[in-house]
Amino acid sequence: MGALMVIFSLQPKQKRKRRDSVEDELELSAVRHRPEGLEQLEAQTRFSRKELQILYRGFKNECPSGVVNEDTFKDIYSQFFPQGDASTYAHFLFNAFDTDHDGSVSFEDFVTGLSILLRGTVQEKLNWAFNLYDINKDGYITKEEMLDIMKAIYNMMGKCTYPILKEETPRQHVEIFFQKMDKNKDGVVTIDEFIDCCQNDENIMRSMQLFENVI
Amino acid sequence: MAAGVAAWLPFARAAAIGWMPVASAPMPPPPRDKRHTRDELIILNVSGSRFQTWRNTLERYPDTLLGSTERDFFYHEETNEYFFDRDPDIFRHILNFYRTGKLHYPRHECISAYDEELAFFGIIPEIIGDCCYEEYKDRRRENAERIQDDEDNENGNDVTQLDLTIRQSMWRAFENPHTSTMALVFYYVTGFFIAVSVMANVVETVPCGTGSRAKEMSCGERYALAFFCLDTACVMIFTVEYLLRLIAAPSRYKFVKSVMSIIDVVAIMPYYIGLVMTDNEDVSGAFVTLRVFRVFRIFKFSRHSAGLRILGYTLKSCASELGFLLFSLTMAIIIFATVMFYAEKGSNSSKFTSIPAAFWYTIVTMTTLGYGDMVPKTIVGKVFGSICSLSGVLVIALPVPVIVSNFSRIYHQSQRAEKRRAQKKTRLARIRAAKSGGANAYLQYKRNGLLADAEEEASKEAGKALVCKVNPTFETQHHHLLHCLEKTTNHEFVDEQTYETSCMEVSMVKPSTSRSSSVSSSPHGLTSCCSRRNKRKSFNVPNSNMTAGRRGSVQELSTIQIRERPLSNSRSSLNAKFEETVPLNSEQQPYITAAIISMPTPPVTTPEGGDSASSPDFLQSNIVRVSAL
């Protein structure tokens, strides 16, 4: 009787194993990525050799395979925000970093993005931010896109906030944003409106310089 | 947060630029970046193996030795590195902890060595990763058990004879038969009687040839009186033993609850119940049943056999596996019995009259006994019968290895305990010899008063004590230290024997004071005193002048005795007295105590030190009460 049970249970496992092995093979082949040489990266980005070395060491430590896929990215980013759920925002960030849209962020993408954020001109930074908000990359930020971004940002806060987070807070925030940014009131924000408006805002200008010395 | 992820913090901060345009309030100023220094490599030299890592890596955990300023204590300026005189193999794992944030436990390392290294480097073991935590905990528990075992044994053996009351010594005799000959005798006697009683119970039922009547009688009926007397004797012995144990038990309530005492009671109860009940025909059936319980006497053997105890303990600890075995067997029996019953229902004159009747067939088949008193006749029945026997083998074979491995583990544990006990004796003997070797060395040094000799003697003594040669410089410095201590306290070091004898002496000194006033006139009295005392041990007299003459015959270097001060002022009078009394005892012991000689004169407590060149230390002002080194 026990033998019968054993025989029956063996069957499905074999099928599963066959499927898994094919996937494993695929993964093995895709996993090794080596970045371009140090000189090339030095030329492409605004980081010095030393800084690139430090960045790469940290990158490689966490992602030994050389590329970050979205899950790992979400994982890493979530560790910085333990109270809330950072996965949505990490998703948008991932898309912003993954400039060639191949589903993974290699070290070059990573470093290029960082170069803009940390060493770029204000124009470049604002460009990058616009790119982040424009989820479908069509050149316009709609209210829905902005709402998504806002909700993602508020999600990172988690439940335990003071004052208590209400349902309509992101929506109100989006309204304020659009009132400020949307000059011609057509319901969307274009890149020029965005950059214009930001450059006229003291606070935003000042805060753009905040993270210069992060590396 | 994992250590590696900390490297991504710059990225997270940079990505925060994405919030800036939507921010509703101005941002706080960034923190001042304290460390503007470049990250540098730190060299850690651990017993010659050089490890290098970034300073930042180490400073991830600032509450450990390597991560805090505590490592500056180990900085070695000449070579510009941090030197640790520790085990490099284990250090590898500790450094990996800094790098990866996970602490692993290597299986081949000794648990106490590993714990020591962790403690040294200030890492708490609780952060060991899940992959290695089980193993670590297991090994730690084993180690703790071993230490606990050792302590228990030590405590058990340390109790000296003098401290126990009658009750405690009785209990000790019962529990450890090898402690005294009486206990051993008792042990064997009870064992013998258990065997006799069990044999009698067995032989009672053997048919013993035709008696006066036609039918066969069992031996029990033929020699009823003999067996009754034997039974009475055995039960009396068991009762006495039980009562003695009850009296001697430190906690009577606990004793009564224990398994062994219950077995004892069950073993002797049937006899008493039989005595009380008369030979009534109605209750004789019940009486016969009671006699069955006499077989429990065989369990009394578990006090005598460690193997039996281990078996019992194993069964107890495998209770869950046994329960599982029983449960699965019951399930299978019911299933197969039902199937067989319905399969055989069709055939006529089948033995499978009911499902419970089929239970017997199923059990006999599953355990592969196959008596053959019930066999299936139909084809379906035979098919299911064969499946039944095949599955029976499987079901029984599965839990058995678990029980076997449990038994093996417990058995090996007890073996280890036995081995440790045996080794402990030699270990303790070695330690004692080493200790006395050290003491001898010092006392020898004192007598000689020369460094060079002391070195020789020290190494000779040390060699005798099975200890490897000690460092001479260390020895001399150590001796000097002991000497200083002696001077400080105005006492001296002696060895155990002489200490004990001096204890005895002092207790005997008072009564003999009156007698010793006539010591010069009555040598016999002195002889009797001395001989009585000398029967115990031989000891030297460290009389300064005497030693010069007596040193040649010193057998035991350890038997130097310090005692009450020679009570006369002049050494010559002391010598005279000594010379006088030496011939009295020379046949027995070459030495006598100075105390006995010098008792008559009133005690004078003037130090005579400084007069004798060789050993001023021997002249003391007080009675010395110091223990050996």
- Are residues A194 and B21, on separate chains, in Cβ contact within 8 Å? yes
pLDDT band per the 50, 70, 90 thresholds, residue B334: very high
Q: Quick one: CA torsion of A78, A79, A80, A83, rounded to 10 degrees?
A: 70
Q: How many of the other CB atoms lie within 10 Å of CB of B539?
A: 25
- Are residues B38 and A206, on separate chains, in Cβ contact within 8 Å? no
From chain A, pick out residues whose CB is under 8 angstroms from the CB of B395: 2
- Are residues B33 and A213, on separate chains, in Cβ contact within 8 Å? yes
- Are residues B7 and A59, on separate chains, in Cβ contact within 8 Å? yes
Q: B22 to chain A, minimum CA–CA distance in Å?
A: 7
Q: What is the mean pLDDT of residues B462-483?
A: 58
d(CA A104, CA A101): 8
From chain A, pick out residues whose CB is under 8 angstroms from the CB of B390: 3
- Are residues A77 and B12, on separate chains, in Cβ contact within 8 Å? yes
- Are residues A2 and B12, on separate chains, in Cβ contact within 8 Å? no
Mean pLDDT score of chain B: 73
Statement: residue B389 has pLDDT above 90: yes
From chain A, pick out residues whose CB is under 8 angstroms from the CB of B4: 58, 61-62
Q: A57 to chain B, minimum CA–CA distance in Å?
A: 8
Q: A15 to chain B, minimum CA–CA distance in Å?
A: 27
- Are residues A129 and B18, on separate chains, in Cβ contact within 8 Å? yes
Q: Which residue has the tokens 């064997």?
A: B188
pLDDT band per the 50, 70, 90 thresholds, residue B360: very high
CB-count exposure of residue B496 (10 Å: 0-12, 13-18, 19+): middle
ipTM of the complex: 0.78
Surface of B (381-400) touching A: CB under 8 A: 387, 390-391, 394-395
- Residue B341's pLDDT is 93
Which of B1, B9, B19, B22 to mutate to test binding with chain A, by most A CBs within 10 Å of its CB? B22
B226, HSE (Cβ side, Cα atoms, 13 Å):
9
Nearest-CA residue of chain A relative to B391?
A1
- Strand, coil or helix: B77: coil
Selecting from A61, A80, A204 the residue whose C-beta is nearest the C-beta of B20 gives A204
What digits encode the pLDDT tens for the residues B55-86? 888 888 888 889 888 888 888 889 889 999 99
Q: A63 to chain B, minimum CA–CA distance in Å?
A: 10
From chain B, pick out residues whose CB is under 8 angstroms from the CB of A114: 10-11, 14
- Are residues A129 and B21, on separate chains, in Cβ contact within 8 Å? yes
Residue B621: phi and psi, rounded to 5, are -100, -25
Nearest-CA residue of chain B relative to A55?
B7
- Are residues B23 and A210, on separate chains, in Cβ contact within 8 Å? no
B493 CA to centre of own chain = 32
Determine contact, residues B70/B16, Cβ cutoff 8 Å: no
d(CA B419, CA B116): 26
Q: B141 to chain A, minimum CA–CA distance in Å?
A: 35
Q: Is the dihedral of CA B137, B142, B145, B150 positive or negative?
A: negative
Between the alpha carbon of residue B444 and those of residues A13, A17, B449, the distances in Å are: 81, 80, 8
- Are residues B10 and A215, on separate chains, in Cβ contact within 8 Å? yes
From chain B, pick out residues whose CB is under 8 angstroms from the CB of A59: 7-8
Selecting from A3, A76, A153 the residue whose C-beta is nearest the C-beta of B19 gives A153
- Residue B51's pLDDT is 93
Could you tell me which residue, A36 or B390, shows the higher pLDDT?
B390
Statement: residue B172 has pLDDT above 50: yes
Which of B11, B33, B35, B396 to mutate to test binding with chain A, by most A CBs within 10 Å of its CB? B11
Q: B27 to chain A, minimum CA–CA distance in Å?
A: 6
Going by DSSP bridges, is the β-strand pair B81-84/B41-46 parallel, antiparallel, or unpaired? parallel
B36-40, B412-416, B570-574: segment of lowest average pLDDT: B570-574
Q: Is B20 on the interface with A (CB under 8 A)?
A: yes
Q: What is the pTM of this model?
A: 0.50
Token pair belonging to B417:
């305990």
Helix ranges restricted to H, B205-317: 219-222, 224-248, 252-257, 259-276, 281-292, 306-317
Selecting from B7, B13, B335 the residue whose C-beta is nearest the C-beta of A214 gives B13
Distinct helix (H) and strand (E) counts, chain B: 24, 6
Q: Which residues pair with A140 in a beta bridge?
A: A190
pLDDT band per the 50, 70, 90 thresholds, residue A66: confident
- Are residues A207 and B23, on separate chains, in Cβ contact within 8 Å? yes
Q: What is the mean pLDDT of residues B365-386?
A: 92
Could you tell me which residue, B498 or A3, shows the higher pLDDT?
B498
Q: B135 to chain A, minimum CA–CA distance in Å?
A: 27
Q: What is the mean pLDDT of residues A82-86?
A: 81
Nearest-CA residue of chain B relative to A129?
B18
Statement: residue B624 has pLDDT above 60: no
Q: B55 to chain A, minimum CA–CA distance in Å?
A: 13
pLDDT band per the 50, 70, 90 thresholds, residue B215: low
Size of interface A-B (CB pairs under 8 A): 105
Determine contact, residues B357/B390, Cβ cutoff 8 Å: no
B195: left (phi over 0), alpha (psi -120 to 50) or beta: alpha
d(CA B165, CA A79): 67
Determine contact, residues B550/B540, Cβ cutoff 8 Å: yes
d(CA B379, CA B216): 47
Nearest-CA residue of chain B relative to A77?
B12
Could you tell me which residue, B551 or A125, shows the higher pLDDT?
A125
- Residue B501's pLDDT is 72
- Residue B554's pLDDT is 37
Q: What is the mean pLDDT of residues B421-440?
A: 78
d(CA B159, CA B169): 10
Nearest-CA residue of chain B relative to A169?
B24
Q: Is B26 on the interface with A (CB under 8 A)?
A: yes
From first CA to last CA, the distance across chain A in angstroms is 67
What digits encode the pLDDT tens for the residues B508-558? 655 544 444 444 444 443 444 444 444 444 344 444 444 333 443 333 333
